[in-house]
Chains A and B, each alone.
Chain A
Amino acid sequence: MDSDLRDFILRRVVQIPVVLFLVSVIVFYIIHLPEGGPEALLSGQAGDEAIREFRDRYNLNEPLYVQYLLWIQGILTGSLGTSITTNQPVASLIASRLPVTLMLGFFSVAISVMIAVPAGYISAVEQYTWKDHTATVLAFVGLSIPNFFLAILLIKLFSVELGWLPITASGQMFSDWSLTLKSMVLPSLALGTALAAHVTRILRSSMLDIYSEEYVHVARAKGLPEKMVNRSIVFKNALIPVITIVMLQMGYVLGATVIIEEVFAMPGLGRLMLNSVVGRDYPVMQAVVLLYATAYLVFNLIADVAYGLVDPRIKYGGEH
């Protein structure tokens, strides 16, 4: 790795805490904004005594900035606090939910790449043939159907009608591995196809751009057969923007996992976040939102670095 690249990564890594600080302030402020504060959760069932105890326990009597600093102090010392609804440490809640979301994300991206690379490639190489038109139509269908709707269609077809795949692994996630993997298929498909549609279009237009580059012409003029021109010149150079966009799409995948996990009743991070919002479990909510923001920033960083690693033209020395 050359020193320019190292400097660039360092600069970007230093930016991350700054952005996270801003995100944490905003998240914290929004959560503590509503009338009644976090303890509104308790009212109804709890008496005054219980509410007072609750406020003490979560430092709700302190000024807002002190509460914020206590929260940050907790994060920096490795304690994310305790869930209000389950009384479990937030860190262990996240640890138990993370693998589900990671698996869902991984399988979705894997499926999208398996669909998008051949589809985008054929679309570009055989532009305006029936294959290209088919891929284009399917891609637009994939882009325009909402994830949750596709999820419901998939459930109806493969679980309810055909009975091939389970809707959910329910309580047996990670204890019954065969069931776990089977239960991943439909959610990954629901999420992966939309992503595939996107990547197909990007790969196609990226390849078509490369075809008009002079070096493609030169490759033909030196006798490279068209197949090799397509593969080793056009496809390879077209991957640069595709990789970047796939990485940027990871932010979209993160967001979409929330919905998909809910539809398929998967015990993932997205569902944890959703439940924490519904239950006003603000220690959990704060932590998960911050985690999503961190993940988003890391994916963006990877996108930028990957862009430079694949494309030797990118120089990291200059200002951006």
Chain B
Amino acid sequence: MALLEVENLCTEFRTKDGTVTAVDDVSFTIDKGERIGVVGESGAGKSVTGLSILQLVEYPGVITDDSSIRLNGEDLLAKSEDEMASIRGNEIAWIPQDPLSSLNPTSTIGEQIVETMRIHGYGDDENDRRQRAISLLADVGIPDAANRFDDYPSEYSGGMRQRVLIAMALSCEPSLIIADEPTTALDVSTQAQIVNLLRDVTSNDTALMVITHELGLVAELCERVMVLYAGTVAEKSDVAGIFDDPKHPYTKNLLKCSPHLTMGEELNTIPGSMPVGSERPSGCQFHPRCSEAMEECSVVEPELLPDGDGGEVACLLHTDQEYNMKVDQP
């Protein structure tokens, strides 16, 4: 059994101007200790997918009734708010995108880590938690951790605060860590250090879901990739497959747009823009921007099907005749 099983996840924002489907029928699994990358342009639904797992989608977002999210076989969507709170930070931890704004400015670094353990009843007593917090800070590379335990976040640099957030995520030994663009806000040399750190700390049984718009980060960190486009899964593959033999035209575009895979560049260089909001194209969501689009692409919505190489792809170029036949009989 997989650690996390997400099935038919739909998350909608029911706004005044209509319903925005941010995540549209997304299914995937994460195994114990596995590292998976979720990639796509800004607005693709990556963060909302991660937040849906934690059930922290902000108002007016709702996870539809047909969705299913199971952790170790247990239905998370059936849990009460209190039960979910005891899972967050404890079994599923979250590493946010912007370290500068993600720590409580009026609480010390040490207290914020200890507090996480305290609310989940981790550790024997306060002293035990304190010792663990200090050793975690040392593990993530905070020099002189014992003395900097009582510092306030404002006394830490951005890179150090991201390390603190990683230490906080690790504090209760979660089985899954969801990291939302964990390096985007950092400078290039710090990015490399944080990537190495994330790889180190998840080298045991901890699974990692990395949300990013940089395929380079995925190449360095992950075993598997899921490409999202406009809330739908475009392609799933192992990392080698994505780079050596990308199937979906969108994935190919993404690759072309990140020449320095280790640096990671802005991906917004694919011509056109992704549909956002409640206006969605018919057929394949990508067809207005797809250089390989065929006539039927604007009519038929491609299904996510096995690509023959162990992955899955949602593109009419990679499926059998059925679709074409459907189109041929108007």
Contacts and interface: CB of A to CB of B under 8 A. Distances in A.
Contact of A233 (B86, B104, B116, B120): B104
Nearest to B151: A312
B96 A217 contact: yes
B119 A225 contact: yes
Contact of B106 (A222, A224, A310): A310
B94 A222 contact: yes
B87 interface: yes
Given A213-B101, A220-B88, A237 B106 contact: yes
B116 A223 contact: yes
Contacts of B105: 215, 237, 311-313
Contact of B103 (A215, A221, A226, A310): A215
B88 A223 contact: yes
Interface string B86-101: 1111100110101001
A313 B165 contact: no
A225 B102 contact: no
B207 interface: no
Contact of B116 (A222, A226, A236): A222
B85 A214 contact: no
A236 B94 contact: no
Contacts of A237: 104-106
Contacts of A141: none
Of A217, A221, A228, A313, the most chain B CB neighbours within 10 A belong to: A221
B292 interface: no
A225 B88 CA distance: 10
Interface residues of A, number: 23
Contact of B94 (A213, A218, A228, A312): A218
Contacts of B116: 222-223
Nearest to B58: A217
B137 interface: no
Interface string B75-93: 0000001100111111001
B95 to A, nearest CB: 9
Nearest to A224: B119
B134 interface: no
A223 to B, nearest CB: 4
Given A215-B103, A310-B106, A312-B105, A222 B168 contact: yes
Query: What is the interface of chain A mostly: helix, strand, loop, or mixed?
Result: helix
A240 B104 CA distance: 13
Nearest to A315: B154
Contacts of A226: 81, 85
A220 B165 contact: no
Contacts of A220: 56, 85, 88
A219 interface: yes
Interface string A160-172: 0000000000000
B149 interface: no
B96 A224 contact: no
A215 B101 contact: yes
A310 B152 CA distance: 12
27 contacts: A214-B101, A215-B102, A215-B104, A215-B105, A217-B96, A217-B102, A218-B94, A218-B103, A220-B56, A220-B85, A220-B88, A221-B54, A221-B89, A221-B93, A221-B96, A222-B169, A223-B88, A223-B116, A224-B89, A224-B119, A228-B119, A233-B104, A237-B104, A240-B106, A312-B106, A312-B154, A313-B154
Given A218-B102, A310-B106, A312-B154, 9 more contacts: A215-B101, A215-B102, A215-B105, A217-B56, A218-B96, A218-B165, A221-B94, A222-B169, A237-B106
Interface of B: 54, 56, 81-82, 85-90, 93-94, 96, 98, 101-106, 115-116, 119-120, 152, 154, 165, 168-169
